[in-house]
Amino acid sequence: MRSKKLILLIVVLILLVSQVPFAYRRYKLGRLNNAIQQLQSQRVQQQTNGFTEYKGVVHVHSFLGGHSAGTFAEIISAAQANQLHFVIMTEHTEKDFDTAAMTLQGMHGGVLFINGNEVRAENGDRLLVLPGEMSIVAYPEEFKNWDTARINGVEVYNVFTNAKQINSIVAFFDVLWSRRSYPDLIFALYLQRPDESLNTWDKALTRARLTATAGNDAHANIGVSLKDSSGKTLLGIQLDPYATSFRLVRLHALIEQGKALDATNLMEAVRAGHCFIGFDFLGDTSGFVFEAEHAGERKIQGDEISLKPDTRLRVRSPVAGRIVILKDGAVLVDESGIASKEIAITERGVYRTEVYLPQLGNLPWILSNPVYVR
């Protein structure tokens, strides 16, 4: 009997000790949350002159095309809860009906919905096919046919691709410890800079102008539930509800002032690269500015500008952090503790910028689209 009690005691101690790392990770999330709140209190609202900024999400799936049981009502509600301006739907295709035509489109609950498809080619390449004859490479690390003229953009970051790197056992205990208090910040424990996808994009930019987007890849299909015979959920844990997915990463689009937020103007802005990627669960990235100018000409990200003796590049972040400026994929400037940076441009090339928040563990916060200096 004493030996059984001893074994039981040892088992209990092992279980308790095994939870120490997860308790510490929850403590780290608490500190991260406090740091985010402090940073947000220091925000200085910037503005790209002549443009209105709208935030939304790209790569969203519903019950159409399988892989998800998410309803339109859930998606609309989640978009409203996140105060999004737009949602770009990318339904999986079906043989017998047009899922893009059947999904959400137009204004619903004050949110603009764009109807598109995620299309898979015979060689496994996947594209997000959107209105306005725009095609975005999905999962660029797996993409093969880069010579196709159909490509207008690259999904340089994808939540699902990042999530595949997560150890399921570690994630399970992180959820047990932290989901109630920090449902979206849990993802900060796993967030990684998408090195491979960014490198692939930088190489592709030497051949063509390609807009960078981020994919929420929202399915709302991860979790455990108990249902009755009618399909009604009796008990369940939803790990990736749309409301959480829509907070992780967003696309901030810049539309010329005076133009309405509608499907045509939004897709024109995205195609032009007048947009940037913000990991908004680490703090609102609204107001980021990246532009180039010389006498008589000013251009924003996505645009071309001619090289002249007085050509300058300017970055402005809502809060101070680490600003990295890259030329043709190579680091040109890497400076910390600043909220703005201006440099003279003396060479033609493709320039883009990344902003990091060292206060938050050096996590990527903003990824811009390029300015093309010709």
User: Domain-by-domain residue ranges, the chain?
Assistant: 47-286, 288-374
| Residue 154 near residue 200 (C-beta atoms within 8 A) | yes
Residue 188 has phi, psi (to 5 degrees) of -65, -25
Question: What whole-number distance in Å separates Cα of residue 308 and Cα of residue 294?
Answer: 7
- Cβ contacts of 116 within 8 Å, gap of 6 or more: 88, 89, 90, 91, 100, 128, 129, 130, 131
What is the architecture of the domain spanning 288-374?
Answer: Sandwich (2.60)
Distances (CA, A) of 111 to 78, 194, 216: 11, 29, 17
- Give yes or no on whether 47-286 and 288-374 have one common fold: no
Q: Count of CB atoms within 10 A of residue 261's CB? A: 17
* Look-up of token digits 């691709």: 161
Q: What radius of gyration do the chain's Cα atoms show?
A: 22
Integer Cα distance of 75 and 79 in angstroms: 6
Do the beta carbons of residue 92 and residue 117 sit within 8 Å?
yes
CA gap 173, 169 in Å, rounded: 7
- What does the CA dihedral 226, 243, 58, 222 come to, rounded to 10 degrees? -20
The answer to whether 141 and 125 have CB atoms below 8 angstroms apart is: no
Q: Per residue of the chain (374 residues), what is the pLDDT tens digit?
A: 677 777 777 777 777 778 888 888 898 889 888 988 888 888 887 778 899 999 999 999 999 977 788 899 999 999 999 999 999 999 999 988 899 999 999 999 999 999 999 999 989 999 999 998 999 999 999 999 888 768 999 999 999 888 887 787 887 888 888 888 888 888 888 888 999 999 999 999 988 999 999 999 998 765 544 445 555 554 445 567 899 999 999 999 999 999 999 999 999 999 999 999 999 999 999 999 999 999 879 999 999 999 999 999 999 999 999 999 999 999 999 999 999 999 999 999 999 999 999 877 778 999 999 999 99
Q: What class, spelled out in words, does domain 47-286 have in CATH?
A: alpha beta
